[in-house]
Amino acid sequence: MWHMTTKRILVLANSTKHHPKSCIAGRELLNEGGDKTKWGAWIRPVSNHDEGALDFVERRLADGKDPKPLDVMQLPLSGPENNPLQPENWLIQVGQPWIKESSLAPQVLPSLVEEPDDLWLQPGQKSDRANPAFLQHLSNLQSLYLVRPESFRFEIRSTTWESRAKKQLRGPFKYKRHHYGFTLTDPLISRKYFPVFRQSAEGYSKPNDASQILLCISLTPPFKDGLHYKVIATVFELPA
């Protein structure tokens, strides 16, 4: 039986998942005594519904706002979800408020960058997806990374999903000599570069400074086709 525990995290993602639901994730801040802290593991607070997605009422702050990347939060959690393919998942404590302590400057981000050899690249499979059997055999699996890409741009394209045509925002990028193209689910960067998304033209466009981009990458729960998809949950633009 788990009892409520409170975790301090630096939010690194608040990404759209079946709007208006979202997925939040970040790195834990651990107290080393006195005023000293150190970075802990990734934590993804999840619900027990909608593949773990969080309703606004489950994640809103006392002032009615949504947590943003770089917010330092106190999260009331009931215990690990024990999901082997998303080991960072912790179940939220329903009915308990989320508390924002402060916000950190983006200059803290480079110290959190990780360097996996690849991003769950499954031989013979498209770069934006992987099947559970492949993932289960990866050693030290984690479903979240903060990486620095070697190149990055935006792509708007039309796609058909469940027999419906719609526009999709993607983020083609290069990382350790591999080319990737993931769906982009960061609502803040989407609003910044494509404020009228439905009227945005298809094709490629570049961020202000592609050399100063960091990406928070997340592996989703399995879709109806049984595959886990990879998304860009947050695009961070570092100050020059």
pLDDT digits (tens, 9 = 90+) for 94-124: 888 899 999 999 999 999 999 999 999 999 9
Q: What is the model's pLDDT at position 17?
A: 81
Residue 234 or residue 56, greater confidence: 234
pLDDT attached to residue 43: 98
Q: Per-residue pLDDT tens for 63-98?
A: 888 999 999 999 999 999 999 999 999 999 988 889
- Euclidean distance between CA atoms 117 and 196, whole angstroms: 37
pLDDT of residue 2: 57
- Averaged pLDDT for residues 25-35: 90
pLDDT in tens, 138-167: 999 999 999 999 999 999 988 776 677 788
Question: Which pTM does this prediction carry?
Answer: 0.93
Q: State the number of CA atoms in the 13 A half-sphere of 119 facing the CB.
A: 32
Instruction: Report the range of poorest mean pLDDT among 2-6, 8-12, 154-158.
Output: 2-6
Q: What's the pLDDT at 42? A: 98
Over residues 37-59, mean pLDDT? 90
Q: Do the Cβ atoms of 149 and 215 come closer than 8 Å?
A: yes
Model confidence pLDDT, tens digit, residues 177-231: 999 999 999 999 999 999 987 778 889 999 999 999 999 999 999 988 999 999 9
